[in-house]
Structure 1
Amino acid sequence: MSLNKNYFVIIFSTLAHFFSLAQQSPEKDSVLTENLNEVVVTATRTMRQLSSLPLPVTLIPKKQLEQTGVTRLNEILSEQTGIVMTPDATIGGGEGVQIQGIASDYILVLIDGVPMVGRSSGNLDLSRFAVGNIAQIEIVKGPSSSLFGSEALGGVINIITEKPRSENLTGAVSHRAATFNNQNSNVSLSQRMGAFGYALFADRLSSDGVDLAPDQEGQTINPLTNYTLSGRFYFEASEKWDVFSSARYFGQSFAVSDGRSEETDLNLQLRANQHPSSRTEIQYELYYTNYTTNEQTTDPINDELLLDNAFDQKLFRPEVRINYSYRDQNTLSLGGGYNFESLDRSLFADLVTFDSQYLFAQYDFNPSDRLNIIAGARYDSHSEYNSQLSPKISARYALSPHLAVKGSVGSGFKAPDFRQLYLDFTNASGGGYSVFGKEVEADGIQRLQDNGELASLQVDPAMLGDALDAETSVGFNLGTTYRNGKVSAGVNFFRNDFRNLIDTRILAAKSNGQNVFGYINRERVFTQGMEVDLQVRLEDNLRLSGGYQLLYAYDKERRNDIENGQVFARDPQSQETVRLQTSDYFGLENRSRHTLNLKAFYEIPDWNAHCNLRLVYRSRFGLTDRNGNGLLDTYDDSFVNGYSLVNLSFGKTLWEDYQLQMGANNLLDFRGSNPLAAQDNEVFINPGIQLFVKLNFQF
């Protein structure tokens, strides 16, 4: 839906009018006195106490990261309510993060408030992000386009890194060894020296990889080595000015048979914070990121180059933000920026460039002591797509000091990206699966047929090349929260309505047992459900928590077709064609109806130790339509059975400065099987149990 620019001008002017209402001197912000583990910045781009927010937000503090013993972002996210790490429909095709049933294409990932780029099959590889220097992780669920643009259609994950706090030099050195010869070492240093502060971090990870299909050539996950280097620098020039700068470099190489695969990720950020008065803060920010990959595969017999896949994406973004508080916790935020982006990819015919401009406004105010309202909107003007307005409003009402009700509604927009239009990719090192953008899928399928690489076609040939439409959505969240002493609980009901959702589908099966993937609009899709969270401190040293998500995700048009008796399937037992009933429609691919997590953290002061046990359950889900009727039904044979992963960790402090930690991930050694594996070949969906031991020295 394209909206006239005048609409945004009116909203922007109306919000700006609140400046004239500044009649009272601001009081001291009570948020600043809160425990830092309870303060979040992502949801509103201002400091807010977690319990006071009208939005569904999950916060993962540093202590949880340390006690669980995880080393990468994807590992800790998989244990949170309503967040699922989803495998691609083919093993080796990557892994994405799903929030409230919304795919990873619509989840924006930030580090210290700036976006990460470089996606494969729409998935941003979260294993690129080490957790050793993370202070906390903030996850905002539901549409966040009003602040962060179209990529935040389904939510935002913001990684907040540590700041230097001590005038003495402090740091840590650690090494972790795990199954599959997984070796992870890191070192961190930080110090405050008057007005200057710095935080340095280095991380190295190596692994022998995993082979889940011994009968097939190559490994499912190739051996790898990667490095992360980062520096954060702070300077307080005066009472009214402070400067923050950061640099991060990630480099990774895979040991690929008959070739090489490398990737790099560079992020540079410079931000100046101005405080012209006690009421006003202005942030000036410059951000540059460059993500590259280079993958080559050669024929071992004649040394012929079979694949040369290069990817070079750059983003440069200047942005200005203004926060103005004219009374305690009533804040008007205004901002604008410019995106310059380019993508040079060997799988595209030409260099792709585009630019966009945006403005956003948000007013966070309290009409009464019990009511908090946040209203905002963002206007995006893109060189390739129609201009768009993304409004959002949220509210929280305190029924009592312990019980509150909160809700939000917001809209978003996302156009087809260049990958979905022009990608022409075959992953030789990952098993040989192929992915075609809509504009090239007809030619790609024809080429594979001419080469004799196809076993069967899964779609009507007349549908190949049909144009993709842009996507729009409206998201709703409504729930209650309860906090009283040692007990906190929350219930959130959500619904996200998409029009023209772009999703992946299987176009054809290849003769090597892999698949050919393409993109399709699902005319009207929705995800809806319920999330429940409960945390209880039974005693000072024992914390229990649990979370549950109920999810329904359907294509409305296909469900209507079933109700009208227009969809059929073959019963694999009777081999008869049957007309599907509504109960036969399972829903969208890769979505589980039920997910559950349970955690127990126990402190043992007498031993100077701690232990924890975490369980994650995911009910069964289907990977793709296998019987050709255009939906996932109970007669398909692509279902992965429900499973549980149990993780255990035990840590003890030795001689004050040393910490020894041992644990097991996937303690029950679950492996499962991939229903899309080639005939007579078993492919697991999980590598099994992983044991680890970690030694950390702090100074």
Structure 2
Amino acid sequence: MKIKLPLFAVLTFCQISFAQQKDTIANELSEVKVITGTRTERVLSSLPLPMTIITSEAIVKSGVTRLNEILNEQTGIILIPDESGFEGIQMQGLDAAYTMILIDGVPLVGRSSGVLDLSRVSVGNIERIEIVKGASSALYGSEAMGGVINVITKKPKKDMFSGSLSYRYATFNTNDTNANLLWKKKKFSANLFANFYLSDGYDLDKSTPLKNIEPFYNFTIQPKLFYDFSENLKLIVSNRFYNQKMDNVAIIDSENYKGDAKENEWNSQIKLEHKWNAKLYSEYELYATNYKNDSFLNDENNVAFEKTYYDQWLFRPEVRTTLSLKNDKLTGGVGLNYETLDRTYFDKNVNFNSQYFYLQYDFNPTEKWNILVGVRYDNHSEYASQLSPKLAVNYKINENFSLKSSVGYGYKAPDFRQLFFDFTNPSVGYTVLGYNVAENRLNQFEEQGQILYRVEGVNFDKPLEAESSINFNFGTFYKKNKLRVDVNAFYNSIHNLIDTRVVAQKTNGQNIFSYFNISKIFTYGLEFNSTYEFTKEFSVSFGYQYLTAKDKSVLDNFEDYQYIRNSELQTIQIKKSDYFGLYNRSKHTANVKIAYTIPRIKTDVNLRVFYRSKYGMFDTNGNQILDKYDTFVSDYFITNLSISKNITDKLMLQAGANNLFDFTDPNQISNLAGRQLFARIQYNF
């Protein structure tokens, strides 16, 4: 399995050499119309931003069922599990907290330590997934500093009743049942999607009574209604209900505790689309969402030991208008967010409110040039106002080749946890305080005689600032005959990174932490995607990302980190070049995807191979940074295979395996469950 990266380079050159053969096969993907990058409908190939599209056909052929699974198969995207096991997105080397997740253009809430559980979203009714990489705060504000992922669900297109029913059974007693019903008659149409998902979880270490993922089940119901008052006035009402129950098990001081954890999510969107005339188009949108998480643990005598809760609301009205001027478009929007959170370890129910507006000019001075200029202003109740500009340019050299570049400002607001957290570990005794509550709580600890000393120079006089970034992208797009190539180089510089630091020590010897704007980090790299169609039935895709991600303060003050303890417990000095970078980042990730259709027997074969180079999780030699002498997670390959057989035009059978060669690393990689075999039946009507 230790095939190194030169294999991928050989495959790439093979694809390019085959491209010299002329063929008239069109690459339809490049002509897909997208909306996330500009908030207006654009052809993908002309967009001056780094963007990826995942189609519904690609999702079905892959055999996956949850959003985290399909995203994990994309170039430049890594799914990183947090301490609770939830997988968050890492794009361009930036953590999950910096990527906004949307469903039909509106955001999901309910993040745990900045991580949104993407397995909450079923892919059974998805039309396509649009991924914009790089700072997108100019349109979407906070949480879009690293990019945006927009899940767009299906809608009825013809006057008829249609849909699909499917059932999938997989390893770990995993059951996935879907029903997606679409109906349209004249002015009225509707879509009803329902999903039930059940799993026994999985256990990588049989020596302990705890599983990596405990047994759980969840269901999703998503009704959408559409009514066309006329060709120029249309109403959309969309709702989504999600409910999950999971076993909650813990071992504390050698004692066993059991309970359960429940999640409930509700989203509601009402949107009115109004075409005033041939030049003026408006959308009026009202969105509300609520996410709840309740869990408890009882001891062996069924006596309550612990209860936790999390209850977050978001209300957001927004108005958007687009004015078409010959070949150009001017888009503007105004809205407000009102957000509340009531949770364990908060002294009270807290709330944010903000107002914002944005403008974007989509300018086409000639057939070859497209210039995108945008700016957004956010006024927030808890931190300084933010102005987020962006400039993107696409130059079309000829019909097959274009250059694109962009520069944008992004920001990430301090979250509720960083401002209002008040947590003391009951067994160890350390304390973590949100920035806004830290001063009062420290004074209370002093009055109670719990403070040994406070760190000099630490004060909470000015508000915690939003994290900010400058993002640069420069890339090319090439499509001719059988070959399609995307290349993008990126650079991110992040200032005012929010991190924890010690602010006091207790008389019990434990520290008190709070959140501050401390670090400056940067990431840069190159992303490459190519697809070559040997025939209409056989195509090969290759993707690769090179990434460097480092803390600038470490480089600027390397003398503070240059001594380590080696395996013989000797103190040795290291060089600045030995600094590997940020934790949980791989310098190299790559994938090869092979799609083969056998028309005679109506069968599709889909093989995907994914590579991730080594990365470090912890400092293991005592100098507080990740250097080349630390312990690393070794590089590895994962292979996924699916085979789909169309019995009739309406009936499909599918079988396959994720992690075909059963790779696991129980001690270091908690989200690799081993080989998962599956079988699926789907009926379309």
The structural deviation recorded for 1:418 is 1.4
**Among 574, 594, 604, the residue aligned to 1:600:** 594
The structural deviation recorded for 1:347 is 2.0
Output the amino acid matched with 2:307: D
The structural deviation recorded for 1:35 is 7.7
Q: Is the counterpart of residue 650 in structure 1 residue 636 in structure 2? A: no
Counterpart position of 1:110? 102
> What is the CA–CA distance in structure 2 between the aligned matches of 1:432 and 1:224, rounded to whole Å?
30
> What is the CA–CA distance in structure 1 between the aligned matches of 2:30 and 2:219, rounded to whole Å?
29
> What is the CA–CA distance in structure 1 between the aligned matches of 2:373 and 2:563, rounded to whole Å?
47
Counterpart position of 2:137? 145
Conservation of the 8 A alpha-carbon contact between 2:293 and 2:310: yes
Conservation of the 8 A alpha-carbon contact between 2:243 and 2:263: yes
The 5 Å alignment of 1:465-484 reads 469-484=465-480
Aligned-residue sequence identity (percent) comes to: 44
> What is the CA–CA distance in structure 2 between the aligned matches of 1:481 and 1:505, rounded to whole Å?
44
Q: State the Cα deviation string for residues 92-112 of structure 1 (Å, max 9, x = none).
A: 443210110011101000001
Counterpart position of 1:327? 326
Q: Is the counterpart of residue 423 in structure 1 residue 421 in structure 2? A: yes
Counterpart position of 2:281? 281
The 5 Å alignment of 1:522-601 reads 522-562=518-558, 565-601=559-595
The structural deviation recorded for 1:521 is 4.5
Q: Is the counterpart of residue 160 in structure 1 residue 152 in structure 2? A: yes
Conservation of the 8 A alpha-carbon contact between 2:473 and 2:489: yes
Change in 2 beyond 3 A, CA 1:543/1:425: farther
Output the amino acid matched with 1:537: E
Change in 2 beyond 3 A, CA 1:204/1:433: farther
The 5 Å alignment of 1:239-638 reads 239-257=231-249, 258-301=258-301, 303-328=302-327, 330-423=328-421, 436-439=432-435, 462=455, 469-502=465-498, 521-562=517-558, 565-637=559-631
Conservation of the 8 A alpha-carbon contact between 1:94 and 1:121: no
**Among 69, 74, 98, the residue aligned to 2:90:** 98
Counterpart position of 2:507? none
> What is the CA–CA distance in structure 2 between the aligned matches of 1:295 and 1:389, rounded to whole Å?
39
Counterpart position of 1:123? 115
**Among 662, 670, 674, the residue aligned to 2:663:** 670
Conservation of the 8 A alpha-carbon contact between 2:227 and 2:235: yes
Q: State the Cα deviation string for residues 117-148 of structure 1 (Å, max 9, x = none).
A: 00012100000000000000000000000000
Conservation of the 8 A alpha-carbon contact between 2:340 and 2:350: yes
> What is the CA–CA distance in structure 1 between the aligned matches of 2:316 and 2:457, rounded to whole Å?
37
> What is the CA–CA distance in structure 1 between the aligned matches of 2:429 and 2:115, rounded to whole Å?
16
Output the amino acid matched with 2:281: E
> What is the CA–CA distance in structure 2 between the aligned matches of 1:534 and 1:36, rounded to whole Å?
12
The structural deviation recorded for 1:369 is 1.2
Conservation of the 8 A alpha-carbon contact between 2:565 and 2:622: no
> What is the CA–CA distance in structure 1 between the aligned matches of 2:71 and 2:667, rounded to whole Å?
23
> What is the CA–CA distance in structure 1 between the aligned matches of 2:497 and 2:284, rounded to whole Å?
35
Change in 2 beyond 3 A, CA 1:581/1:218: same
Conservation of the 8 A alpha-carbon contact between 1:288 and 1:315: yes
Output the amino acid matched with 2:520: R
> What is the CA–CA distance in structure 2 between the aligned matches of 1:132 and 1:211, rounded to whole Å?
27
Conservation of the 8 A alpha-carbon contact between 1:674 and 1:685: no
Change in 2 beyond 3 A, CA 1:138/1:169: same
> What is the CA–CA distance in structure 1 between the aligned matches of 2:227 and 2:563, rounded to whole Å?
66
The structural deviation recorded for 1:464 is 12
> What is the CA–CA distance in structure 2 between the aligned matches of 1:519 and 1:67, rounded to whole Å?
45
> What is the CA–CA distance in structure 2 between the aligned matches of 1:191 and 1:616, rounded to whole Å?
39
The 5 Å alignment of 1:200-239 reads 200-239=192-231
Conservation of the 8 A alpha-carbon contact between 1:441 and 1:465: no
Conservation of the 8 A alpha-carbon contact between 1:438 and 1:466: no
The structural deviation recorded for 1:662 is 0.2
Change in 2 beyond 3 A, CA 1:656/1:433: farther
The structural deviation recorded for 1:354 is 1.7
The structural deviation recorded for 1:282 is 0.6
Output the amino acid matched with 1:495: Y
> What is the CA–CA distance in structure 2 between the aligned matches of 1:425 and 1:183, rounded to whole Å?
38
> What is the CA–CA distance in structure 1 between the aligned matches of 2:217 and 2:513, rounded to whole Å?
29
The number of residue pairs the alignment matches comes to 631
Q: Is the counterpart of residue 59 in structure 1 residue 30 in structure 2? A: no
Match of 2:560, SS? coil
The structural deviation recorded for 1:522 is 4.6
> What is the CA–CA distance in structure 1 between the aligned matches of 2:579 and 2:189, rounded to whole Å?
57
Match of 1:557, SS? helix
> What is the CA–CA distance in structure 1 between the aligned matches of 2:501 and 2:85, rounded to whole Å?
13
Match of 1:587, SS? coil
Match of 2:313, SS? strand
The structural deviation recorded for 1:277 is 0.4
The two structures have a TM-score, normalised by structure 1, of 0.86
Return 5+ residue gaps in structure 2 as ranges.
Answer: 1-27, 250-257, 446-452, 504-511
Q: State the Cα deviation string for residues 508-563 of structure 1 (Å, max 9, x = none).
A: xxxxxxxx99866552100101111111111111121111100000111101222x
> What is the CA–CA distance in structure 2 between the aligned matches of 1:95 and 1:688, rounded to whole Å?
16
> What is the CA–CA distance in structure 2 between the aligned matches of 1:464 and 1:487, rounded to whole Å?
60
Q: State the Cα deviation string for residues 283-324 of structure 1 (Å, max 9, x = none).
A: 0000000000001111123x3322211111001111000011
> What is the CA–CA distance in structure 2 between the aligned matches of 1:185 and 1:40, rounded to whole Å?
29
Change in 2 beyond 3 A, CA 1:239/1:168: closer
> What is the CA–CA distance in structure 1 between the aligned matches of 2:496 and 2:568, rounded to whole Å?
36
Q: Is the counterpart of residue 698 in structure 1 residue 684 in structure 2? A: yes
The structural deviation recorded for 1:180 is 0.4
Conservation of the 8 A alpha-carbon contact between 1:337 and 1:358: yes
> What is the CA–CA distance in structure 1 between the aligned matches of 2:515 and 2:384, rounded to whole Å?
21
> What is the CA–CA distance in structure 1 between the aligned matches of 2:131 and 2:680, rounded to whole Å?
27
> What is the CA–CA distance in structure 2 between the aligned matches of 1:154 and 1:312, rounded to whole Å?
26
Conservation of the 8 A alpha-carbon contact between 1:173 and 1:698: yes
Change in 2 beyond 3 A, CA 1:387/1:684: closer
Conservation of the 8 A alpha-carbon contact between 2:566 and 2:621: no
Conservation of the 8 A alpha-carbon contact between 2:248 and 2:295: no
Match of 1:349, SS? coil
Change in 2 beyond 3 A, CA 1:361/1:176: same
Output the amino acid matched with 1:318: P
Counterpart position of 1:687? 673
**Among 183, 187, 195, the residue aligned to 1:191:** 183
Change in 2 beyond 3 A, CA 1:643/1:424: farther
Match of 1:63, SS? helix
The structural deviation recorded for 1:571 is 3.8
> What is the CA–CA distance in structure 2 between the aligned matches of 1:426 and 1:208, rounded to whole Å?
33
Conservation of the 8 A alpha-carbon contact between 2:395 and 2:404: yes
Conservation of the 8 A alpha-carbon contact between 2:85 and 2:213: no
Conservation of the 8 A alpha-carbon contact between 2:138 and 2:376: yes
Match of 1:341, SS? strand
Q: Is the counterpart of residue 82 in structure 1 residue 76 in structure 2? A: yes
Conservation of the 8 A alpha-carbon contact between 1:341 and 1:353: yes
Match of 1:255, SS? strand
> What is the CA–CA distance in structure 2 between the aligned matches of 1:160 and 1:94, rounded to whole Å?
22
Conservation of the 8 A alpha-carbon contact between 1:213 and 1:684: no
Output the amino acid matched with 1:403: F
Match of 2:113, SS? coil
Conservation of the 8 A alpha-carbon contact between 2:341 and 2:351: yes
The two structures have a TM-score, normalised by structure 2, of 0.87
Conservation of the 8 A alpha-carbon contact between 2:331 and 2:360: yes
Match of 1:152, SS? coil
